[in-house]
Amino acid sequence: MGRYNAPIDKWMSLPELGHIIATAYNIVFVSYGIHVGYTFLPIIVDDDIESPTRTLIIGFIHQARHFIALRMCNENDYPLPDVPWYWAQERDSSTADLVAPYMTRFEESITLMNSRKKKDQHAHINVNDNDN
């Protein structure tokens, strides 16, 4: 291990820390990976602080085991992966309205993923081994 390398048990892990990051920095925190993506919203918002207006987007590079910052071409119009299911159970009532502005973008992401799944299903070739 190099001089500045942190041991694996000290690395940031998602989705476990996503809402903590979103809450600490009062941001919408989005992560993309090969098979899954998440949108993390704060779990609590102080009364004297506005709802998050900034978004931080990262991508996970699987083989390098690193995250990189991403920038979308149109910063306000791209599909967003869904919020993890447990956010609704863990969040404070102060965050009840945070999802509403992003619903269309969540739905776009679901539509995209469903169309991709259908495309992938048609791309597979079925081989029947019983023809020998």
pLDDT score of 19 = 95
Domain spans of the chain, in order of start: 8-123
Can you say how many angstroms the Cα of residue 41 is from the centroid of all Cα atoms in its chain? 10
CA–centroid distance for 58 within its chain: 8
* Whether the Cβ atoms of residue 44 and residue 98 lie closer than 8 Å to each other: no
pTM of the model: 0.78
In the chain the first and final C-alpha atoms are separated, in Å, by 53
Query: What is the CB neighbour count within 10 angstroms for residue 20?
Result: 14
Look at residue 131 in the predicted model and tell me its pLDDT: 47
pLDDT in tens, 42-101: 999 887 878 888 999 999 988 878 889 999 888 778 889 999 999 999 999 989 889 999
pLDDT of residue 77: 82
